[in-house]
Amino acid sequence: MLHSSLLTYLDEVVRCGSIRKAAARLNIASSSINRRIIALEEEIGVPIFERLPRRLRLTGAGELLLAHVRQTLRDYELLQSRLVDLQGRRRGLVRISTMGGLANSLLPGLVGWMREHHPFIKLAIKATSVEGVMSDVGSGEADLGFAFQLPPDAKLRVVARTGLRVGAVVAAGHPLAERGSVYLGDCLGYPLILADRSMTIGTMVADAFERASIRVDLAVESNSIELMKQAVTDGQSITFLNEVDVEVERRAGRLVFLPLLDELMPRQELKLVERARGALDPSQSLVVEELRKIIQAIDEGDWPL
């Protein structure tokens, strides 16, 4: 090891919130970790943690130290990857923070491609919220973020982006299925199954109805894309999703995607982001390029699903 194991101990203690839990995960005596932390605090002359009744909380000095620790660990991972590259056998870890819908629709294609072409690279894919994606990438918990409607953030750099159409989604036998495209007003009179405002598309659709001064009579509201798609597979119900969300079902003939003609409905922006500071290792850069190809394929209408 080119760095002290104490760095790994500190990182795990912060993640777990306690020395005892970190020790259990690392299979090390908690007393050993505690002694080393106390010795480090004595060496630097300031406390690293506030010792609360049920957990540890970083002090201001601890926050600065943690940023240094995690950057050092990332630099070490980068060095390991480059050393392996010199031996002609690329391997590494790529951590992607994303949203549930993308984890189910676009990322399986990436996983299959990586397994076939780069089996020594491990992918760690975490499904979370928009806020979670921003936090994960900004803090270094994830190498890449892949999500809809990410707001600007100085900690993040946009690698690639595209805009996806939002449309009404109906069963193949629905009365509107042959229309090709619809207005929001065309969907009234049918049971509406909408995403709630915890989802980016839920906020977009609700705002579009409000701007159009259309009162919505909801049948179902949910934060599950899978539930919404399943609920409209049979019957007269309508939901609203983007074109990627339903591409698998559309190709299978189970659902029909009807783009909304309303000018009040913007496209849903999909972004691939990385940390603004720091460099990606070769494995991470390889995944970035493959995700860029996926985004380009979306733009060209040839989605890799």
Q: Same domain, yes or no, for 189 and 261?
A: yes
Residue 237 lies in a domain: yes
Q: Same domain, yes or no, for 278 and 153?
A: yes
Averaged confidence pLDDT in the chain: 88
CB burial readout 159-178, b (16+ within 10 A) else e: bbebebbbbbbbbeebebee
Q: Can you give the pLDDT at residue 283?
A: 85
Three-state DSSP class for residue 302: coil
Q: Same domain, yes or no, for 121 and 245?
A: no
Q: Same domain, yes or no, for 19 and 152?
A: no
Query: Is pLDDT above 70 for 203?
Result: yes
The two counts, helices (H) then strands (E), for the chain are 11, 12
* CATH assignment of the domain containing 290: 3.40.190.10
Residue 73 lies in a domain: no
For residues 195-218, give the mean pLDDT: 90
Q: Can you give the pLDDT at residue 212?
A: 87
- Of the segments 16-20, 91-95, 235-239, 300-304, which one has the largest average pLDDT value? 235-239
Q: Can you give the pLDDT at residue 53?
A: 81
Q: Can you give the pLDDT at residue 305?
A: 44
Domain extent for 280 = 90-162+269-299
Q: Same domain, yes or no, for 290 and 155?
A: yes
- For 45: left if phi > 0, alpha if psi spans -120 to 50, otherwise beta; the answer is left
pLDDT tier at 287 (50, 70, 90 boundaries)? very high
Q: Same domain, yes or no, for 139 and 277?
A: yes
List CB contacts of 305: < 8 A, sequence separation 6 or more.
Answer: 105, 106, 108, 109, 247, 248, 251
pLDDT tier at 130 (50, 70, 90 boundaries)? very high
Three-state DSSP class for residue 218: strand
33, exposed or middle or buried, with CB in 10 Å at 0-12, 13-18, 19+? buried
Q: Same domain, yes or no, for 197 and 106?
A: no
Q: Same domain, yes or no, for 206 and 189?
A: yes
For residues 291-298, give the mean pLDDT: 88
Please count the structural domains in the chain.
3
20-50: pLDDT as tens digits: 898 888 888 988 898 999 988 899 999 999 8
pLDDT tier at 2 (50, 70, 90 boundaries)? low
Q: Same domain, yes or no, for 115 and 235?
A: no
Residue 202 lies in a domain: yes
Residue 289 lies in a domain: yes
137-160: pLDDT as tens digits: 998 899 999 999 999 999 999 999
Residue 80 lies in a domain: no
